[in-house]
Chains A and B, each alone.
Chain A
Amino acid sequence: MSMPARMPRRSGIRGGEAASGWLFTAPMIILLGMFLVIPVLMALWVSFSDWNGRGSPFSGSVAFVGLDNYSALVGGGGLAEQDFGTALRNNAWYVLLVVPIQTMLSLFLAVLVNRQILRGRGFFRTAFYFPSVTSSVAITVLWLFLFSASGAVNKLLSFIGVNGPNWFNDPSGVLHNIFGAFGVETGPAALTDNTFLGISFWEWLAGPSVAMSAFILMAVFTTSGTFMLLFIAALQNLSGDVAEAAVMDGANGWQRFWQVTLPQLRPTLFTVVTLGLIGAWQVFDQIYTGTQGGPGKTTLTPAYLSYQAAFTNQAWGQGAAIAFILFVIIVVFTLFQRWLLVERTVSARRMRLYLQTPTSGGSK
């Protein structure tokens, strides 16, 4: 009599897990398939086609053009290649500055406001997080005002005697301006005569334009709060035991941070840098709302260029191709930082530990 009653629980207390597992994940899998995987495959086809936006991209009139759309971007020698090179240059400088600054700033803010004995802790956290809740559209509108020629930022700069630039209308590169301050107006022939993706090496070294710098400041301003919260959550989840042990061992605050807290934060650091990289490579909203790529195409980004090619110029194949190249860039960067942050540091430290253990243990 007891046998049938036990039947449903035959597989133990973890019964029906396979079915539940698939059932629980099914909605997300279906959604991701419908609106992510299938669309990407469709776009992949479009990137190999000459579809001009009329009718279905799968109709017979749309021709397969192989890698034409891609080769026009990376070696065509025309305007497409030049625009793509410019967009990559602009975004590369943006990433190079935004990701490290926002990561360090958010960790710094998190450590500052995570102290148990801090008056106004809630106020400070709110203040730092608030810019993160605003939309990129709203903040861009605000930034256009603050950084306008006679705007608040230039007004503040004038108080300390600095004649501020006409931010969003200034296409000059920041590094070029610094070189210029030392009297170097044009680069050596080796840099100006050789090109990569239709842009001379000297132009690659222009740095972010003044207009792009305003966007860089904006990105740091709006994202540091989000990442600060991630770091705070991680700091609060740290067990106090390890820190206490370090105190007992005589480590000071600085040592505790670098050698005890930071290694424990590595998963969060990985998350923050990954999200930062992914976000910084797809600058779109700000450009769409603010500058549309200007001045002098110095705020053109691959994401905006892709949109513009497809939706404005009806060059859908080229737009899709730009998107896929951008995709590859982001994946490569993510893998690279993963290798840099996870594999290397961990294995090096572990290795040292492993090497030390036998000698100190003296088991052999």
Chain B
Amino acid sequence: MTTTVRARMRPSTASQRLHDLSRPQLPTSAIAGRSLLYAILIVLAMIYIAPFLVQVATSFKTDVEAATNPISLLPQTWSTAAYERLFLNSDFPIWFQNSAIVTVFVTLGRVFFNSLAGYALARLHFRGRNVIFALLIAVMSVPGVVLLIPKFLVINQLGIYDTYVAMIVPLLTDAAGVFIMKNFFESIPASVEEQARIDGAGNFRVFWSIVLPMARPALVTIIILSFQGSWNELSHFIVATQSPELTTLTKGVASLASGQLSQGTQYPLKLAAAAIMTIPVAVMFFIFQKRIMNTTDGSVKE
């Protein structure tokens, strides 16, 4: 049955095929698939973006309007009361400054130490390397939140409680970052380094001037994760500090969210605070965006 049908249809399909070959065009199913893809993507993107638009819009509303009309993206009466109160009448600027100090030091420290250790674990052959790596994996599985009490104990014991040192140094530990760098160094061909070694470059020289520039995509990942991680860190600051002068944005805004619920909702104020604390990480993200999205550009292709 099928063979006869196919045989009868052959002439027309053959000419059709010839026609397709001479002028390539997308079949309708591909066009439908393409439209569906874009439709899915656009709906998903709207779901991901809408909350932030609502957030910014609400931060410019009055308390009453935020409650009565929570969804509109244009305030009926524009109000900057929330922002005035944050900047002129609260500790918000101090929180911001503390977050900035901690973030800068933690990010610089992590980039250096992570890549150094990651390179050693990926490329340098030395006794104990596997033990260190196994310990690193073990340490990686130690959840940060489990460390709340331990961190407090050691910070207390060292006498650095309620200082910048206590806020910054413990955050330099980043086993996951070492892991990322190690994975990256293993994924790039060793041939370039071997060449440099043959030319007589030492281990640190090879690392600093050959490997590190090649590792730019992974370093960007580390910078982003560290910046984001330390800017957004909350639990560590809860256990490391208590004085208002050392309060960071996360700790301050959290107290705003939980503490003042009883005095009316004050959503514009809280959302304004949350929006401002998002700006630095957003800016950082947009600066590095291109590099994040094109991870393999410029490296050696096999």
Which residues of chain A are near B277, meaning CB under 8 Å?
135, 137-138
Q: How far is the CA of A155 from the CA of B66 in the complex (A)?
A: 12
Task: Fill in one digit per residue for B217-261: 1 if any A CB lies within 8 Å of its CB, else 0.
Answer: 100000010001001101100110000000001100110111000
Q: Is A310 an interface residue (CB 8 A)?
A: yes
Q: Are B281 and A140 in contact (CB under 8 A)?
A: no
Give the Cβ gap from B191 to chain A, nearest Cβ, in Å.
Answer: 13
Q: Which partner residue on chain A sits nearest B204 by CB separation?
A: A20
Task: Fill in one digit per residue for B131-165: 1 if any A CB lies within 8 Å of its CB, else 0.
Answer: 01001100101111111111111100100000000
25 A-B residue pairings within 8 Å (CB atoms)? A14-B125, A20-B120, A20-B203, A21-B120, A21-B125, A22-B126, A31-B173, A32-B135, A35-B154, A39-B154, A118-B37, A125-B293, A127-B49, A133-B284, A137-B257, A141-B257, A145-B270, A285-B250, A288-B254, A288-B258, A289-B258, A290-B257, A316-B149, A320-B149, A326-B145
Q: Are A290 and B41 in contact (CB under 8 A)?
A: no
Q: How far is the CA of A112 from the CA of B34 in the complex (A)?
A: 11
Q: Is A334 an interface residue (CB 8 A)?
A: yes
Q: Given that A42-B150, A141-B273 are known contacts, is A24 also in contact with B295, CB under 8 Å in the complex?
A: no
Q: Is A197 an interface residue (CB 8 A)?
A: no
Stretch at the interface among A176-184, A204-212, A233-241: A233-241
Q: Is A46 an interface residue (CB 8 A)?
A: yes
Q: Are A24 and B124 in contact (CB under 8 A)?
A: yes
Shortest beta-carbon contacts, A-B, top 8: A39-B150, A21-B126, A135-B232, A24-B120, A282-B145, A20-B203, A138-B274, A43-B150
Q: Given that A22-B128, A24-B120, A155-B70 are known contacts, is A289 also in contact with B48, CB under 8 Å in the complex?
A: no
Which residues of chain A are near B153, meaning CB under 8 Å?
39, 42-43, 46, 57
Which residues of chain B are near A109, meaning CB under 8 Å?
44
Q: How far is the CA of A331 from the CA of B113 in the complex (A)?
A: 26
**Cross-interface CB contact of A42 among B157, B170, B224, cutoff 8 Å:** B157
Q: Is B209 an interface residue (CB 8 A)?
A: no
Q: Are B235 and A137 in contact (CB under 8 A)?
A: no
Q: How far is the CA of A145 from the CA of B51 in the complex (A)?
A: 10
Contacts A32-B175, A112-B40 supplied; 10 other A-B pairs, CB < 8 Å = A32-B135, A36-B150, A119-B38, A128-B44, A130-B282, A140-B254, A142-B55, A284-B148, A306-B145, A327-B143
Give the Cβ gap from B5 to chain A, nearest Cβ, in Å.
Answer: 22
Binding site for B on A (CB under 8 A): 9, 13-14, 16-18, 20-22, 24-25, 27-29, 31-32, 34-40, 42-43, 46, 56-57, 109, 112-113, 118-142, 144-146, 148, 150-152, 155-156, 221, 225, 229, 232-233, 236-237, 239, 275, 278, 281-282, 284-285, 288-290, 292, 303, 306-307, 310-311, 316, 319-320, 323-324, 326-327, 330-331, 334
Interface residues on B, range: 35 or more
Q: Is B289 an interface residue (CB 8 A)?
A: yes
Task: Fill in one digit per residue for B181-203: 1 if any A CB lies within 8 Å of its CB, else 0.
Answer: 00000010000001001101011
Q: How far is the CA of A127 from the CA of B53 in the complex (A)?
A: 12
Q: Are B149 and A156 in contact (CB under 8 A)?
A: no
Q: Is B1 an interface residue (CB 8 A)?
A: no
Q: How far is the CA of A278 from the CA of B175 in the complex (A)?
A: 13
Which residues of chain B are near A290, meaning CB under 8 Å?
257-258
Which residues of chain A are near B128, meaning CB under 8 Å?
21-22
Q: Which partner residue on chain B sits nearest A239 by CB separation?
A: B302
Q: Are B146 and A326 in contact (CB under 8 A)?
A: yes
Q: Are B257 and A236 in contact (CB under 8 A)?
A: no
Q: Are B289 and A122 in contact (CB under 8 A)?
A: yes
Q: Given that A130-B49, A142-B271, A229-B292 are known contacts, is A135 also in contact with B149, CB under 8 Å in the complex?
A: no
Q: Are A134 and B281 in contact (CB under 8 A)?
A: yes
Which residues of chain A are near B253, meaning CB under 8 Å?
137-138, 141, 289
**Cross-interface CB contact of B149 among A20, A126, A133, A323, cutoff 8 Å:** A323
Q: Are B194 and A13 in contact (CB under 8 A)?
A: yes
Which residues of chain B are near A233, meaning CB under 8 Å?
217, 295
Which residues of chain A are near B231, meaning CB under 8 Å?
135
Give the Cβ gap from A224 to chain B, nearest Cβ, in Å.
Answer: 9
Q: Given that A35-B154, A39-B151 are known contacts, is A288 also in contact with B302, CB under 8 Å in the complex?
A: no
Give the Cβ gap from B284 to chain A, nearest Cβ, in Å.
Answer: 8
Q: Are B117 and A127 in contact (CB under 8 A)?
A: no
Give the Cβ gap from B286 to chain A, nearest Cβ, in Å.
Answer: 8
Q: How far is the CA of A151 from the CA of B256 in the complex (A)?
A: 19
Q: How far is the CA of A123 from the CA of B136 in the complex (A)?
A: 36
Q: Given that A32-B139, A152-B54, A152-B71 are known contacts, is A27 also in contact with B45, CB under 8 Å in the complex?
A: no
Q: Are A232 and B257 in contact (CB under 8 A)?
A: no
Which residues of chain B are near A130, meaning CB under 8 Å?
48-49, 52, 282, 285
Q: Are B235 and A146 in contact (CB under 8 A)?
A: no
Q: Is B107 an interface residue (CB 8 A)?
A: no
Q: Are A323 and B146 in contact (CB under 8 A)?
A: yes
Q: Are A17 and B124 in contact (CB under 8 A)?
A: yes
Q: Are A40 and B148 in contact (CB under 8 A)?
A: no
Which residues of chain B are near A285, meaning CB under 8 Å?
234-235, 250, 254
Q: How far is the CA of A126 from the CA of B126 in the complex (A)?
A: 41
Q: Are A133 and B154 in contact (CB under 8 A)?
A: no
Which residues of chain A are near B249, meaning CB under 8 Å?
135, 137
Q: Is B114 an interface residue (CB 8 A)?
A: yes
Q: Which of B150, B157, B202, B254 has the most CB of A within 10 A?
A: B150
Q: Given that A24-B207, A124-B41, A134-B278 are known contacts, is A145 also in contact with B58, CB under 8 Å in the complex?
A: yes
